[in-house]
Amino acid sequence: MSADTPLPLLGGLSAADFLGQYWQRKPLLIRGAFPDIESPLSPDELAGLACEDRIEARLVEEHGRDAKGNPQPWQVSHGPFDEATFARLPERDWSLLVQAVDHYVPEVAELLETFSFLPRWRLDDIMISYAPPGGSVGPHVDQYDVFLLQTGGQRHWQLGGAVDEEAPIIEGIDLRILKHFEVTPGEDWVLEPGDMLYLPPGHAHHGVSQSEDCMTVSVGFRALSADEAVTSFADYVGETLPASRRYSDAGMTPPVDAGELNDEALERMRALILETLDDPAQLAQWFGRVMTQPKYVDQLVPQEAPTPVEALAAELEAGAHLERTLGSRFAWRALNETEATLFVDGDGLPCTPSLAQALASNAPIDAELLAHPGAAALIAGLLDRGSLSWPAGDDDDEDPS
């Protein structure tokens, strides 16, 4: 598929048009983006996930009560919840939001493949919300790009234009609800199942459920802040620097004033920092690692004993296949014609470019991959670290360890 192919999911725009005109710039409403969509989960199933330990879930109640029973304009509570929580909820004006549902539900993870007109490593997660009539999280701004796909019921969306980070928010609650929200004329829509709204970062929005069965799937993207990037890259580079690399001022001119921090000194320090950091090879290694860091570090379960490589290869030759573990992140970068780095879950592993490309795609992980030199050992290592898994429901005897 070329970048100029019209995509129904983008309302007939091509990836090139969407990226050139809308991505990170302005909202786009796409009616019938997923014409046959059905909610991948029922409200009860979503509530079930919200009751599980380690699954990030929030309940947002408008006109709720705090733990002491005092009425609050907005009340946020964090999971895990229990049946009693859901039993006490009123018939309207609340929302349940569950984060990273793609890590737990394969049908939800599959949705991500439709967004492959964007780099996969930009994806953060899929959040799913359920709300009875009146339920919302209030008018707010997110710092990331998001596609809001209506999979059940109706939600009334209103947009309020670009808002800067300093915009006043309602104080005293664990939610960043805007104090002032003015609807941009014409940016006011009711989304039906299959409709999707793309929002760039920093764009005020407010979505209120209009039905008993309102389910919204948020496909969110991540971008490091300069703050995170500088700190993290400096740490990464710092680990490999010899102690002898230091500020140096050989040949300096005699200081006019011994107490002054003069321009020459400042320039030497600036040069040391910029030259140390300006290393494209290190940058690529760090970037791949940081963008494949799993959302939840404890989610990957390493194998207790190393997988025997020969036995694994034999299993694959016999027709078995492996799967990328839900929530695992893969990316790759060629170093030259014969060498590449496969980035997996925050690490970088050397391999050939074609193997790295195949593993970081959605291609099946089966015997065909064994044609690549070093594939069996690499795949066994990925299985050991928990980034690959045997398909759920397979017999234990398929696992050769």
Interacting residue ranges for Co ion, rule: CB under 5 A: 142
Stretch that binds ligand SIN, among 3-11, 141-149, 255-263, 381-389 (CB under 6 A): 141-149
Residue list 349-388, contact with ligand SIN (CB under 6 A): none
Q: Which of 99, 129, 150, 328 binds ligand SIN (CB under 6 A)?
A: 129
**Does 146 participate in binding ligand SIN (rule CB under 6 A)?**
yes
**Does 216 participate in binding ligand SIN (rule CB under 6 A)?**
yes
Q: Shortest distance, CB of residue 144 to Co ion, whole angstroms?
A: 9
Stretch that binds ligand SIN, among 118-126, 140-148, 254-262, 277-285 (CB under 6 A): 140-148
> In this complex, which beta carbon is closest to ligand SIN, that of residue 99 or of residue 325?
99
Q: How many residues bind ligand SIN (CB under 6 A)?
A: 10
Per-residue binder mask for ligand SIN (CB under 6 A), 78-107, x = binder: -----------------x------------
> In this complex, which beta carbon is closest to Co ion, that of residue 32 or of residue 202?
202
In angstroms, the CA 148 to CA 157 distance is: 10
Residue 218 interacting partner from Co ion, ligand SIN, none (CB closer than 5 to 8 Å by kind): ligand SIN
**Does 207 participate in binding ligand SIN (rule CB under 6 A)?**
yes
Q: Shortest distance, CB of residue 62 to ligand SIN, whole angstroms?
A: 12
- Three-state SS for the chain is CCCCCECHHHCCCEHHHHHHHCCCCCCEEECCCCCCCCCCCCHHHHHHHHCCCCCCEEEEEEEEECCCCCEEEEEEEECCCCHHHHHHCCCCCEEEEECCHHHCCHHHHHHHHHHCCCCHHHEEEEEEEEECCCCCCCCECCCCCEEEEEEECCEEEEEEEECCCCCCECCCCCCCCECCCCCCCCCEEEECCCCEEEECCCEEEEEEECCCCEEEEEEEECCCCHHHHHHHHHHHHHCCCCCCCCCCCCCCCCCCCCCCCCHHHHHHHHHHHHHHHCCHHHHHHHHHHHHCCCCCHHHCCCCCCCCCHHHHHHHHHCCCCEEECCCCCEEEEECCCCCEEEEECCEEEEECHHHHHHHCCCCCECHHHHHCCCHHHHHHHHHHHCCEECCCCCCHHHCCC
Stretch that binds ligand SIN, among 142-150, 258-266, 324-332, 362-370 (CB under 6 A): 142-150
Residue 216 interacting partner from ligand SIN, Co ion, none (CB closer than 5 to 8 Å by kind): ligand SIN
Q: Which of 14, 77, 115, 142 binds ligand SIN (CB under 6 A)?
A: 142
Q: Shortest distance, CB of residue 142 to Co ion, whole angstroms?
A: 4
Provide the Cα torsion 220, 176, 75, 218; round to 10°: -10
> In this complex, which beta carbon is closest to ligand SIN, that of residue 59 or of residue 351?
59
> In this complex, which beta carbon is closest to ligand SIN, that of residue 206 or of residue 372?
206
**Does 137 participate in binding ligand SIN (rule CB under 6 A)?**
yes
Q: Shortest distance, CB of residue 27 to ligand SIN, whole angstroms?
A: 12
Residues that bind ligand SIN (CB under 6 A): 95, 129, 137, 142, 146, 148, 205, 207, 216, 218
